[in-house]
Amino acid sequence: QGIIFGCTEIGLLVSERDASVPVFDTTAIHARAAAAFALA
């Protein structure tokens, strides 16, 4: 179980510390993947 942040701004309002389940910030995930792809 986990929470997916599907909105770009929700990560600014809610922290991983606020949830008792894993949190996945899709903006951060996509940014890391884009940077890794660009640097590959």
Domain ranges of the chain: 3-39
Counting residues of the chain whose pLDDT is more than 70, the rounded percentage is: 100
pLDDT of residue 3: 87
Q: What is the distance, to the nearest Å, from the Cα of residue 21 to the centroid of all Cα atoms in its chain?
A: 14
Phi, psi of 24 (to 5 degrees): -120, 110
Per-residue model confidence (pLDDT) at position 15: 82
* Stated pTM of the model: 0.67
